[in-house]
Structure 1
Amino acid sequence: MFLNCHTWFSLRYGTFSVEDLCVLAKKNGMEAIAVTDINNTSACMNFVKEASAFGIKPLIGIDFRNGVSQQYVGIARNNIGFRQLNEHLSAHLHQHSAFEDNAPDLSDCYIIYPFEKVVKTKKKHFRKNEFIGVSVETLRQLKFSTYLRFSHKLILLQTVSFRNKKDFNAHRLLRAIDKNTLLSKLPRDEEGSINQQMISLQEIHKAFEDYPFILNNTQNLIESCEIKFGFGKDRLNRNLQIYGKSKQEDENLLKKLCKENLPKRYPEASQVVRDRIEKELKAIFNLGFVSYFLINYDIIQYARSKNYPYIGRGSGANSIVAYIIGITNVDPIELDLYFERFLNESRKSPPDFDIDFSWKDRQDVTDYIFRRHKNTALMGTYVTFKRRAVVREIGKVFGLPKENIDKLSAGFFDFEQLDHLEQLVIRYSGLITGFPNYLSVHSGGILILNDSVYNYSGTFMPPKGFATVQVDMNISEEVGIHKFDILAQRGLSKITDAIEIIKQNQPEAHIEDIDNVAVFKNDPEINNLLRAGDCMGVFYIESPAMRGLFQKLQTQSYLELVAASSIIRPGVSNGGMKEEYIQRHRNPQRRRQAHPVLYEILAETYGVMVYQEDVLKVAHYFAGLSFEEADVLRRGMSGKKTSKGQIDKIERKFRDNCRERGYDVTLINEVWDQIASFAGYAFPKGHSASYAVESYQSLYLKRYFPLEFMVAALNNGGGFYDVETYIQEIRKCGGIVHAPCINNSDHPNVIRGRDIFLGFAYIKELELKVIQRILENRQFFGSFRSLDDFIDRVEISIDQLSLLLKINAFRFTGLDKHHLLWKAHFKLNHNKTNSTQALLFRTPHKDFDLPEFSFDFLVEAYDQMELLGFPLCSHFDLLKNNLQPTVKAKDLKNYIGKEISIYGNLITAKRTPTVNNKYMYFGTFFDQHNDIFDTVSFPGVAEKYPLRSKGIFLCYGKVVEEFGYIAVNLKWISRQETAGDPRRTERSRVLK
């Protein structure tokens, strides 16, 4: 009966979910309602799915508004009408244009104009499918209106936005947040009416007892609407079904590609390989996933034509067909990748092909996909309100001072000690947390559909410039829409850029074919880097946690790297399986503790579940679940959405089957707990193997061309660590790092021999246009000969020139930078830039007699910290006091079990919660000799000596060792004082 219901997808307006709306409708005896969110269709398909469980007939549509001004409501009469509404909405959202007062002719929709709008515009002519919407409040005006004679056009349009006063208050806060204004200054016309609530059928009939025809018209409209989508088991595959001209042609093409490419991957293919190919092709044909493979193949072919590097991963990396035709570079036979993780007869969705491209190339690949296929869009996602952010927003809306907002956001308060407004902030932030805040773009999902995108959703146009659906991957998969994952990462461009830099810096050097990973896997020099954890700059494996794990495992092979990449994940780690795997890996005797059935199923990982497919194997072979049940369990434990109660039902069957097989209760609980700990965090083995290939490529470059590789890493945004840490690594590799130089630097970093010149991009507040002018002028007219020459050739303000002089970019002149700064101020007007007009005759510059300036390396260091964010000298050189004799990081192995002191420059610290809700720190430091060491601060020490900010610390603690990995269990730390900027000291003395 209610044809204008809003959910919280009426963004920053609505106040409850689809499920809450269904509960409300059921409570009020509604048999049919319509979800019509404001300029949004995010809730529509989910409402159609959920409504049946509540016995409610679902109607869907859109509330078309300009801001909060309601123009009209569109209701889909059928699926065609829903598409028409989506097309109309999307056209306006793409162009950011206002909706007209009158709707276009949408033949399969009903258009309802609110009574107030009709009166205001004096609308007299209505199409057959257009109506006038009357609410309980406007009924009083209708009695005295000429529109009463339009009896066949009048229907009920009672807006539902709130359940109660609390919802209305939350709505007002959302509107104030949206308008960025104080709640007290929120314009009345920017908020809805508190009367926009659902009332019972009895109240409706009582209000309209004199106008029964209005309710009859409404009921007739409801009965004429029917919208259908198949969900879950009833869904169809909505992805593009035919890649070429016919299904048979597609099947023949995939067979042909396998046949042509087989010799490249397997020059002497065994029967095992041929049987696996036949098995896969049969499954792919039967399940209708041929076009999915061909589309991914086409994307890869385009990337190859452009020489774009890529990595194919995901569950599709378990496929031998994908390996043969080049979608992935992981050999499923070599790695014994589990077929059923990739495809099984019960699987309804295609396998996941996550294809990583360089962050520089992904945009062009996406553009190709949109040009190549008609019904294409990016996958949407919802960015929700987070607790701390909501506290800040509501605090600002209430006008609280910044210090009060900071206190509430940080969570350091006693609720009972808060004043009334502060308590309201906490209460309403708890209510609003989790609401959708705005629509965004999925990290890599692209939809390529068999029919129009608008059959399922409206689209908006984000800055990326590609139409993006208003629904997320969960409801999309429920209805049969499966995304293609086209992702971006910086690791690939590190590799390609490093190779180009090597060619420029060492033209005579021999570079191995970067795709010939087999050579790298068997290189002891590269495997030694793994074993030592010397992987800084290497994509995915450079973190302190990975370094420590490599040392514990003594990782020295490709397969061991694949396992390490998975057991570092929280699911394996938190379940205690990481420690057990390490123990069994290092101690063969320990492997005997594994249950014989589990050891047989998981022989490669010593009976320990490490990969996603291990859940499938254990559920099927250990507990006797069907592959369909095992896959549902695997999806549920890897964070995929499953039906309500499905996991509970499977858990009961899992336990019952295990008891029937005679397993001990303790073992059953232990195995189930391991499976449960995987929730949301496990990797498929093929996924880890794909990453390991890329890691080996980077390790090769790091081992044999460390300086070029580290420069490429910096030029691509670094990685886990900050810029200063990578610069420290460059020095450790023998590089000499220079501040930006006007004649040697570029926008990125440049290497010449062993000299690395930092890029102009690092200089804070140096404008891009100034950098471009410098580089263009230098390219056309050669190096700058002096400051005067630079001033004559480059248009620049004194403020911008001062930045270059302070960083000592003109040191080639041999003059002190302070001297040059004075000269620059004399030669350039403070308020103007020099002319860009080319000079036919240059006027000689006046020179000035200047006093001698004193130089202090501390001044240089502080200028570098101000402009670059870090000094180019060692932080240890900046300490106020001399260092005392202490242990060196490289000698810690000689002090195991002893308490020692060691100086360290903090690189990074990870704060980790403990089981009893306390926290501890894992710290990583450089000592004064550029060697790394790790520390552990247990809760008592962590609370007393938190590692919250960087600096140099004197660390005191006990040296401990675990499987060759050495750390210092801290007892206390003491921050060392840095010498101050001498200019400030002098200024302070003068002021005194």
Structure 2
Amino acid sequence: MYLNCHSYYSLRYGTFSESTLLELAKENGITQLALTDINSTSACLSFIKQAQEHNIHSVVGVDVRNGVDQLYILIAKNNEGFSEINTFISEHLHIKKLFPDVAPKFENCYCIYPFEKAMEIKSHTFSEYEFIGISIKNLNRLPFSPFNKMMDKLVIHQTVSFRNQSDYNAHRLLRTIDLNTLLSKLPLSEQGDKTDVLLAPELVKVKYQEYPELLFNTDKLLKSCKVNFYFDEHRVNQNQIIYGEDKDSDYTILEELCYNKIKERYKNPKMEVYERVEKELAAIKQMDFVSYFLINNDILDYARSKDYPYIGRGSGANSVVAYIIGITNVDPIELDLYFERFINVYRSSPPDFDIDFSWKDRDDITDYIFRRFKNTALMGTYVTFQYRAVIRELGKVFGVPKFEVDSFLKGYKVKKSASSAYIQLIEKYAHYIHGFPNYLSVHSGGIIITQKPIYYYTSTFLPPKGFQTVQFDMNIAEEVGIFKFDILAQRGLSKIKDTLEILAYNQPETDVLDMEDIEVFKNDPNINKLLNTGDCMGVFYVESPAMRTLMTKLQTNDYLNLVAASSIIRPGVSNGGMKNEYILRHRIPEKRKEAHPVMLEILEDTYGVMVYQEDVLKVAHKFAGLSLAEADILRRGMGGKVKSKGQFEQIEKKFISYCLKKGYSETLTNEVWNQIKAFAGYAFAKGHSASYAVESYQSLYLKKYFPLEFMTAVLNNGGGFYNIETYIHEIKMQGGTVEAPCINKSDHGNKIYGEAVFLGLGMLKSLEFRAIQSILNERDVYGKFSGFDDFVDRVKIGIEQIIILIRIDAFRFTGADKHTLLWEAHLKLDKNKTQNPYPVLFKPKQITYDIPEIKSTTVIDAYDQIELLGFPLHSRFNLLAAPLPTDFKAKDMVAYVNRKITICGKLVTAKGTPTKDKRLMHFGTFYDSEGVFFDTVHFPNIAEKFSISSEGIYVVRGKVVDDLGCLAIIVDYIQHLEMIPDPRFEDADKSVKLMD
């Protein structure tokens, strides 16, 4: 009887989840119903799964509409019918094509036309699979319609969109948000009917008692439909399971790859390597993951053929097979990576390979995957309505002034006004709508490659980049047996690749080591010294103040220490209070004796402290005695991957009871359990940390031996943790000079000549892309510009764009002051006249004007640079209005530990952190007038009193403290120092005063 039910995946229309729909059905004793969301099958797999748990017969389909105009409802008879529906709606959604008024022929679907639409197409011959839906409100019209003698074609059409008045109100608000209008202007035609509620079966039978045929037809239709999928422990692998011709040949390929390449990774492989390979290959074959490895290897073969750098990480980094064939660069034998974390008979999902590519290369890799493998799509995800955003949207819906909405969000009590009565409603429905899906988006890196066509599982949409994307998220995908390939993008790899390209033209005679020769980098004391001192500006994953501080405290000086640091920095270890404990045990061997002997034996390499995800398995298995299957549930539950809270709680009880049976004290048991809970999904797999450390070492090598080229590459990739000005400072600290953009030497990106880095034209905020292209194209074809007149003659861009170039001093090679050129530009280029776009045989000679000599100043240049680039190329210390109040330097802090000092510094970054009592404190990073960095701590009473939000130079006063060799200043006073004002505005102010 329920053929047309909506969930809130009928975006900006529906008002409850598919779970709520099923609960509502169960409460009313309904044993079968159909989920038919509007132009979407997003919730269908989840609906089928949960219906099985509720013992309800699930039927799925789609409510086909153009806008809110309902055309027909398609119901899948079986899995093939579901595929037909997904194919049909996807074809229209991809090209934003209107759906036809009459549905095409379907082999395995039913089509139900609402009574009103059936009346519009009454001349249509209704096929065997087509029906006419009669709603309660249309029952009285049926006897007078041409369908009153077609009883075999009639079914009940009672739409279900709402539960109550609140749902209906929320629906109207969603429709208004969707249309970006006022609630008072929402057309009735854009709203659902208030009667679209789920009626009890008894009431439906009463309403249709005069038409028992409709009850029979509807029941028969529902019972004849069965779309079947298996989930969770019953699921089957839906990924492409054969890479080549068959499974046997796939295994042979993988086996040969391993044994052919084993000596490339291990020069003299020991027996344990061969034993590990045999063990893994057997498990991979048994678990049917051979094609998963071969597909990943195929993708990376393509990347290698294009010289694309990549990093393979994830639990797959625990695999020696992955290491040997080149999916990862992490040797699991060297790091004693836990094999069962990678693959075991209790793990039904494939090992996890996260493969990072350069952000410049990822799209091409994705395109290759779509071309190479037949059944491919991007993973979808839903962006949900968030409370504060909904408040703002509803403010517009009710016409509440923005300042009143802002005041409400800031926690101020809204004063009584004409619109204040709406605030209570807005707050109520913001909570109501919070968490609803808002729109479909694309997962950050997930790609699925299925054995059957994508449409067998879902419909798809087409995001701007043109790769079809499924309408469900990774959670239901995994539950049904579809496991994503993670193809991710990052800028760290681009920095490495770009540095090598820059070296090729800036130092062509220099020999650069093979970037894959990680062992050389690991054992280079000069590189390890950078870690020890925290000198890692621009280096992937290790450049932040927090990481720099941690490495200094750890005295990090080798690869294994860096692997540990990469995981310790994560909140999971920190939240459990074990970060400091690890540092102390690392620095002070005597402290290691404080670890429980069993914990120290299990976690010897981390001094009895849990640092990695694998440590949870080790502790649960060896300390508590849980089976590997139970330990893996515990690990996955930590990361939120176990949805059943009861299952996780059962493991917790078992863990505690097992520990007590082993004779551990309740105190120790609870301490270890609390450490496990503190991880809370934040801890890294050791393979992740090791993979990051490999990339860090590659960057560290370039940073140490080719700092200027490396920092230029950093700039060309948008920087990193810090702002661009900080990287400009680092170039200067490394002995380079930084030049403003130049029309003869600059490209779109930044370019280095020897030790001089010329900023790119693309760095200029207001310079248009096409203006840059015009300049570069002209220069590439016809050579450098001989002077300003030559530029004006050859490049046809507007005067506003030329003024930007003049103000940044891009014509300084001419020797003319930029103020003189500004006069010339205005005299030679009338902004009201369009320049002749066509070439001329004889160019007229530019008129020379007698212009008074004007000279720019350093301060004027600095202000122009700040406006056009976002920062000055001159030191901000040289732009202060008054002399520095102190000449104390950061290098002298070591002699002033536990003493107060006053120092001046340029603010680099400041991070706010809430305290236990929810007050805000700050951690600051500055550099002094010599460019040396120092750190500050601002406790809440100081953070609340003194702001450090502005760019520029500050005078800082406080006590120097030493925390394991890491110096910082506990601030008790800080003040922003004034810059010299822009003299042009100062002169203008004087002129105004004289005129007054």
**TM tier, shorter chain?**
over 0.9
Aligned to 1:601: 602
Letter matched to residue 600 of structure 1: E
RMSD: 1.6
Question: How far did residue 741 of structure 1 move?
Answer: 0.5
Give the Cα separation in 2 of the matches to 1:895 and 1:265: 50
Please say if residues 415 and 423 of structure 1, whose CA atoms lie closer than 8 Å, have aligned partners that are also in contact. Answer: no
Aligned to 1:156: 156
Letter matched to residue 867 of structure 1: L
Aligned to 1:383: 383
1:267-302 deviation per Cα after TM superposition (whole angstroms, max 9, x unaligned)? 211111111111111111111111111111111111
Question: How far did residue 878 of structure 1 move?
Answer: 2.3
Q: 1:413 to 1:894 in 2, by over 3 A?
A: farther
Q: 1:121 to 1:952 in 2, by over 3 A?
A: farther
Question: How far did residue 648 of structure 1 move?
Answer: 0.8
Aligned to 1:758: 759
- State the SS of the aligned residue for 2:681: coil
Give the Cα separation in 2 of the matches to 1:639 and 1:872: 48
Deviates most, 131-140 or 664-673? 131-140
Deviates most, 196-205 or 354-363? 196-205
Give the Cα separation in 2 of the matches to 1:313 and 1:372: 23
Give the Cα separation in 2 of the matches to 1:172 and 1:156: 25
Give 1:678-757 correspondences, 5 Å limit: 678-757=679-758
- State the SS of the aligned residue for 2:584: helix
Give the Cα separation in 1 of the matches to 2:413 and 2:292: 54
Give 1:30-45 correspondences, 5 Å limit: 30-45=30-45
Please say if residues 906 and 924 of structure 1, whose CA atoms lie closer than 8 Å, have aligned partners that are also in contact. Answer: yes
Aligned to 2:8: 8
- State the SS of the aligned residue for 1:152: helix
Please say if residues 642 and 648 of structure 2, whose CA atoms lie closer than 8 Å, have aligned partners that are also in contact. Answer: no
Please say if residues 414 and 420 of structure 2, whose CA atoms lie closer than 8 Å, have aligned partners that are also in contact. Answer: no
Please say if residues 389 and 409 of structure 1, whose CA atoms lie closer than 8 Å, have aligned partners that are also in contact. Answer: no
Deviates most, 873-882 or 771-780? 873-882
Give the Cα separation in 2 of the matches to 1:506 and 1:805: 31
Question: How far did residue 929 of structure 1 move?
Answer: 1.9
- State the SS of the aligned residue for 1:146: coil
Please say if residues 77 and 225 of structure 1, whose CA atoms lie closer than 8 Å, have aligned partners that are also in contact. Answer: yes
1:59-87 deviation per Cα after TM superposition (whole angstroms, max 9, x unaligned)? 11111111111111111111111111101
Aligned to 1:528: 529
Question: How far did residue 188 of structure 1 move?
Answer: 2.2
- State the SS of the aligned residue for 1:63: strand
Give the Cα separation in 2 of the matches to 1:800 and 1:338: 59
Give 1:547-558 correspondences, 5 Å limit: 547-558=548-559
Question: How far did residue 641 of structure 1 move?
Answer: 3.9
Give the Cα separation in 2 of the matches to 1:772 and 1:794: 10
Please say if residues 77 and 225 of structure 2, whose CA atoms lie closer than 8 Å, have aligned partners that are also in contact. Answer: yes
Give the Cα separation in 1 of the matches to 2:603 and 2:898: 36
- State the SS of the aligned residue for 2:877: helix
Aligned to 2:970: 969
Give the Cα separation in 2 of the matches to 1:138 and 1:121: 17
Give the Cα separation in 2 of the matches to 1:411 and 1:388: 12
Q: 1:574 to 1:209 in 2, by over 3 A?
A: same
Aligned to 1:659: 660
Give the Cα separation in 2 of the matches to 1:413 and 1:899: 43
Give the Cα separation in 2 of the matches to 1:222 and 1:405: 48
- State the SS of the aligned residue for 1:360: coil
Give the Cα separation in 2 of the matches to 1:237 and 1:628: 19
Give the Cα separation in 2 of the matches to 1:415 and 1:138: 49
Give the Cα separation in 1 of the matches to 2:30 and 2:424: 36
Question: How far did residue 834 of structure 1 move?
Answer: 2.0
Please say if residues 794 and 836 of structure 1, whose CA atoms lie closer than 8 Å, have aligned partners that are also in contact. Answer: no
Aligned to 1:64: 64
Deviates most, 770-779 or 176-185? 176-185
Please say if residues 739 and 758 of structure 1, whose CA atoms lie closer than 8 Å, have aligned partners that are also in contact. Answer: yes
Question: How far did residue 189 of structure 1 move?
Answer: 1.6
Question: How far did residue 413 of structure 1 move?
Answer: 5.0
Question: How far did residue 398 of structure 1 move?
Answer: 2.0
Give the Cα separation in 2 of the matches to 1:519 and 1:833: 61
Give the Cα separation in 2 of the matches to 1:135 and 1:781: 75
Aligned to 1:132: 132
Aligned to 1:186: 186
- State the SS of the aligned residue for 1:640: coil
Please say if residues 905 and 927 of structure 2, whose CA atoms lie closer than 8 Å, have aligned partners that are also in contact. Answer: yes
1:146-169 deviation per Cα after TM superposition (whole angstroms, max 9, x unaligned)? 222221111112111122222222
Give the Cα separation in 2 of the matches to 1:121 and 1:15: 31
Q: 1:806 to 1:57 in 2, by over 3 A?
A: same
- The alignment status of 1:497 with 2:515, answered yes or no, reads no
Letter matched to residue 504 of structure 1: Y
Please say if residues 230 and 236 of structure 2, whose CA atoms lie closer than 8 Å, have aligned partners that are also in contact. Answer: yes
1:362-396 deviation per Cα after TM superposition (whole angstroms, max 9, x unaligned)? 11111111111111111111111222222222222
Aligned to 1:780: 781
Give the Cα separation in 1 of the matches to 2:290 and 2:940: 55
Deviates most, 239-248 or 202-211? 202-211
Q: 1:79 to 1:817 in 2, by over 3 A?
A: same
Q: 1:510 to 1:415 in 2, by over 3 A?
A: farther
Letter matched to residue 347 of structure 1: R
Provide structure 2 residue ranges, at least 5 long, that are not aligned to the other structure. Answer: none
Give the Cα separation in 2 of the matches to 1:371 and 1:427: 49
- The alignment status of 1:610 with 2:611, answered yes or no, reads yes
Question: How far did residue 672 of structure 1 move?
Answer: 1.1
Letter matched to residue 250 of structure 2: D
Letter matched to residue 787 of structure 1: F
Letter matched to residue 72 of structure 2: Y
Aligned to 1:796: 797
1:853-885 deviation per Cα after TM superposition (whole angstroms, max 9, x unaligned)? 243322221111111111111222222222111
- The alignment status of 1:118 with 2:124, answered yes or no, reads no
- The alignment status of 1:20 with 2:20, answered yes or no, reads yes
Please say if residues 612 and 638 of structure 1, whose CA atoms lie closer than 8 Å, have aligned partners that are also in contact. Answer: no
Provide structure 1 residue ranges, at least 5 long, that are not aligned to the other structure. Answer: none
- State the SS of the aligned residue for 2:487: strand
Question: How far did residue 833 of structure 1 move?
Answer: 3.8
- State the SS of the aligned residue for 2:147: helix
Q: 1:416 to 1:51 in 2, by over 3 A?
A: farther
Give 1:929-968 correspondences, 5 Å limit: 929-968=930-969
1:153-188 deviation per Cα after TM superposition (whole angstroms, max 9, x unaligned)? 111121111222222222222222212222222222
Deviates most, 473-482 or 567-576? 567-576
Give the Cα separation in 2 of the matches to 1:11 and 1:415: 35
Give the Cα separation in 2 of the matches to 1:163 and 1:309: 54
Letter matched to residue 590 of structure 1: K
Give the Cα separation in 1 of the matches to 2:880 and 2:427: 44
- State the SS of the aligned residue for 2:148: helix
Question: How far did residue 422 of structure 1 move?
Answer: 2.2
- State the SS of the aligned residue for 1:756: strand
Aligned to 2:902: 901
- State the SS of the aligned residue for 2:348: coil
Please say if residues 912 and 921 of structure 1, whose CA atoms lie closer than 8 Å, have aligned partners that are also in contact. Answer: yes
- State the SS of the aligned residue for 1:969: strand
Please say if residues 956 and 971 of structure 2, whose CA atoms lie closer than 8 Å, have aligned partners that are also in contact. Answer: yes
- State the SS of the aligned residue for 1:604: helix
The percent of aligned pairs where both chains have the same amino acid is: 58
Give the Cα separation in 2 of the matches to 1:563 and 1:171: 51
Question: How far did residue 922 of structure 1 move?
Answer: 1.3
Q: 1:609 to 1:508 in 2, by over 3 A?
A: same
Aligned to 1:213: 213
Give the Cα separation in 2 of the matches to 1:612 and 1:203: 55
Question: How far did residue 644 of structure 1 move?
Answer: 4.1
Aligned to 1:581: 582
Give the Cα separation in 1 of the matches to 2:410 and 2:11: 26
1:465-514 deviation per Cα after TM superposition (whole angstroms, max 9, x unaligned)? 11111111100000000011111111111101101111211122221111
Question: How far did residue 710 of structure 1 move?
Answer: 0.4
- The alignment status of 1:619 with 2:620, answered yes or no, reads yes
Aligned length: 992
1:612-653 deviation per Cα after TM superposition (whole angstroms, max 9, x unaligned)? 111111111111111111111111112324334111111111
Deviates most, 30-39 or 784-793? 30-39
Give the Cα separation in 2 of the matches to 1:547 and 1:499: 25
Q: 1:413 to 1:651 in 2, by over 3 A?
A: farther
Give the Cα separation in 2 of the matches to 1:723 and 1:796: 28
Letter matched to residue 249 of structure 1: S
Question: How far did residue 411 of structure 1 move?
Answer: 4.5
Give the Cα separation in 2 of the matches to 1:199 and 1:442: 38
- State the SS of the aligned residue for 1:155: strand
- State the SS of the aligned residue for 1:764: coil
